[in-house]
Amino acid sequence: MVGLGDLPGRSLSSIAYGVSADGSVVVGEGYSDSGLEAFRWTAAGGMLGLGDLDGGDFRSYAKNVSADGSVIVGSGGSASGTEAFRWTAENGLSGIGDLDGGSFYSYAAGVSSDGSVVVGTGTSSNGTEAFRWTSDDMSPLGDLIGSTFVSRAYSTSADGSVIVGNSNSDSGIEAYRWTNESGMIGLGDLDGGQFSSCAYDVSADGSVIVGQCTSDLGQQAFYWTQTGGMKSIKEMLTNAGIDLTHWKLNCAYGVSADGRTIVGYGTNHQNRTEAWIATIPEPATVALLSLGFLFLKKIK
């Protein structure tokens, strides 16, 4: 493990949120003399602040990065308010606006591999609404029907055609998968418990979605495919012969491009929050990389 340091000017505080496909570019937020500032890190250049949008209170963070590290997305403070941005070395931070009709507030959470599609959440005349941005326009994604209008987008497939997040529905808070052809489709929830699910990440081809859901056992990490639907990751691993008697897998936050490796957090045998990584080989066996799990980070 390598510490990335921080931006100059204040006591050390930095958080990394995203990494390029080859691991050479890391993005996140740190504190500089100006305030909270988005950064881009490379081994050669170290941590470099990206500044902020013009006109607002200085506060920016970088949430995600394109495959080659050349495009960074996040949120900053502009004269209009909190605004989603897209950064390139050539143009610096560029605000991408907000949806029409709402109180101005937008943030970017995901970006396609080539950096041409940005997804996130804005405000429209409907309320809080997920968006898909290209150089042509920012398009609202709607929501699931049946309750107060709210939708959020967290990630997109490599080509920007599949977007995932959560929305209010007539059942409760529900994970969704969006495509231009189908619109926003709810992914449901596991049986039992309060209806609540959220999709946080999607594989490169859009076929695998991971996130958090609720069952009669409480919060659970889920793995979704079009053919298999939503499944408990703990149940999948247990059925494959992995002993997780004293583990609770609360949430899956990320999935690899091929949909086989998942990361998230749970509660371990000591009842402490611990990060985990699980690998699902083809076609049906499941291996868990571990020291029990392969632990990445323990939060005491």
DSSP string over 74-122: EEEEBSSSEEEEEEETTTEEEE----TBS-SB-EEEEE-TTS--EEEEE
Taking the chain (300 residues) in runs of 10, the rounded mean pLDDT of each run is 86 92 96 95 97 95 98 98 98 98 96 99 98 98 95 99 98 98 97 94 98 95 96 91 91 96 93 90 47 41
Q: Over the Cα atoms of the chain, what is R_g?
A: 19
How many other β-carbons are positioned within 10 Å of the β-carbon of residue 150? 18
What domains does the chain contain, in order, with CATH numbers?
66-299 (2.120.10.30)
Residue 238 is classified by DSSP as H
Token reading at 248:
């609770």
Contact predicate 122/165, CB 8 Å: no
Number of Cβ within 10 Å of residue 7's Cβ equals: 23
DSSP string, 257-299: TTS-EEEEEEE-TTS-EEEEEEE--SSS--EE-TTTT----EE
pLDDT of amino acid 146: 86
pTM here is 0.92
Q: Which two tokens stand for residue 59?
A: 């506060």
φ/ψ of residue 265, rounded to 5:
-135, 160
Q: What is the distance between the alpha carbons of residues 172 and 150, in angstroms, rounded to a whole number?
A: 11
- CA gap 84, 73 in Å, rounded: 7
CA 264/CA 252 separation, integer angstroms: 4
Distances in whole angstroms, Cα of residue 166 to Cα of each of 65, 78, 154, 196, 209: 21, 26, 8, 9, 12
Q: What is the pLDDT of residue 299?
A: 38
The answer to whether 251 and 236 have CB atoms below 8 angstroms apart is: no
pLDDT of residue 120: 99
Q: Rounded distance, CA 282 to CA 256, Å?
A: 14
Q: In DSSP terms, which residues pair with 241 in a beta bridge?
A: none
Nearest to 247 by CA among 255, 239, 237, 256: 237
Q: Is the dihedral of CA 283, 286, 290, 293 positive or negative?
A: positive
